[in-house]
Amino acid sequence: MTDTTLVLACVALVVAVAAAVRSTWSPCGLSMLSTITPIGERAKGHRYAGTVAWFVLGATVGGLLFGTLAAGLAAVVGAAHLSDSVRLGVALAAVVVAVVSDRGLAGVRVPVHMRQVNERWLDAYRPWAYGAGFGVQIGCGLATYITTAAVYLTVVLAALTGDPLAAVAVGAVFGVARGMAVTLTARINSPSVLLAFHQRFEALRPWADRAVAGTCLVVAGVLGVALGPGAVVVVGGVLLVAVGVRLAGGGRRRPTARPDPGARQSLSAEPWTTAAAGVSSPSRVDAPSLLSASVAAAAPASVPPSSAGGTGSGRVSRQRR
């Protein structure tokens, strides 16, 4: 492994972790934190630890699939025998594009994929099936909601290593990081704790955005140093131009053409309160309704199952496959 390949592999691993962490605030990530909880699994007659284990295993497999895609591209890069300067230059350009996209600096965003996991699996299948199935979809990165360009950047950086094994390792790390996020719910033992957790978690979303942007800027600095002082100057100039374009466009708002799909997960006090009361929440995606279903499942005596929003995850199907 050459020095350039090692540098690219290291920055790819760092970006993979940052992308996985930020993706937890996607609709699918929030859905998992709403449904795979100790109170939710207990209400369905399942073991929380067992479901979590299957979810993490599935996410790891999904990460390996993610890495396999990057590995195929890495094999092509390796066969092309690109020079170190070319690989570093392309990587640096990809980082700049990711930062500009995520921060809306030029008024545009890279295309995103909007797909939610099928929450009906909670009623239709056994815990090992929906745990592993959800894990694979979330761990592979590209099958569900993409809320940050860092996911694409992970693939690009892993591919530019030119080393298929390194690319697979990057994908595996991404999958494990996404899967382990579900363990954040391990101490949730009541509906009120569940609601408070999600309100606190939503408040951290802006910090997660800043963390990803900061990580990408550090990676850009590392790649710039590897390329030479001239590259750092060029990157700085590009970012300044992008900021100027954004300011010239007026205001600090993000572009409305392609909003962050995760940002549509409004977690204000009112929607969560109505969900806890068993009233259909005015949420715009499925995670809040799934949360209300989990709350309803945890308190069946006070909340009629038919009045809770979501898919009725508290009901145990008599015909599980």
> Quick one: which of 254, 20, 35 has its CA closest to 146?
20
Contact 10, 157 (CB under 8 A): no
For the chain, the domain total comes to: 1
Contact 307, 293 (CB under 8 A): no
Contact 60, 67 (CB under 8 A): no
Query: Does 172 map to a domain?
Result: yes
pLDDT at 232 (0 to 100): 63
- Annotate 103-168 with DSSP letters as a single string: HTTTS-----------TTHHHHS-HHHHHHHHHHHHHTSSSS----THHHHHHHHHHHT--HHHHH
Query: Does 194 map to a domain?
Result: yes
pLDDT at 314 (0 to 100): 40
> Quick one: which of 206, 35, 15 has its CA closest to 116?
35
Q: For 3-51, how does the pLDDT look when each residue is reduced to its tens digit (9 = 90+)?
A: 899 999 999 999 999 999 999 998 888 989 999 999 989 988 899 999 9
Query: Does 250 map to a domain?
Result: yes
Q: Which helix (H) or strand (E) holds 84?
A: helix 84-103
pLDDT at 137 (0 to 100): 93
> Quick one: which of 247, 249, 216, 243 has its CA closest to 93?
216
pTM of the model: 0.75
Token pair, residue 207, equals: 């910090």
pLDDT at 278 (0 to 100): 34
Per-residue pLDDT of the chain (321 residues; tens, 9 = 90+): 788 999 999 999 999 999 999 999 988 889 899 999 999 899 888 999 999 999 999 999 999 999 999 999 999 999 999 999 999 999 999 998 999 899 887 777 888 778 888 888 888 889 999 999 999 999 998 988 898 999 999 999 999 999 999 999 999 999 999 999 999 999 998 999 999 999 999 999 999 999 999 999 889 888 988 887 666 666 666 666 656 555 555 544 444 444 444 444 434 333 333 333 333 333 334 444 445 545 554 544 433 443 334 444 444 444 455
Query: What is the DSSP-derived secondary structure letter of residue 183?
Result: G
User: Residue 292 sits in which domain range?
Assistant: 3-307
Query: Does 318 map to a domain?
Result: no
Query: Does 317 map to a domain?
Result: no
Query: Does 320 map to a domain?
Result: no
Query: Does 312 map to a domain?
Result: no
Tokens 């094999």 map to which residue?
A: 75
**Residue 148, SS3 per DSSP:** coil
pLDDT at 262 (0 to 100): 47
**Residue 180, SS3 per DSSP:** helix
CA distance 148 to 74: 22
Query: Does 66 map to a domain?
Result: yes
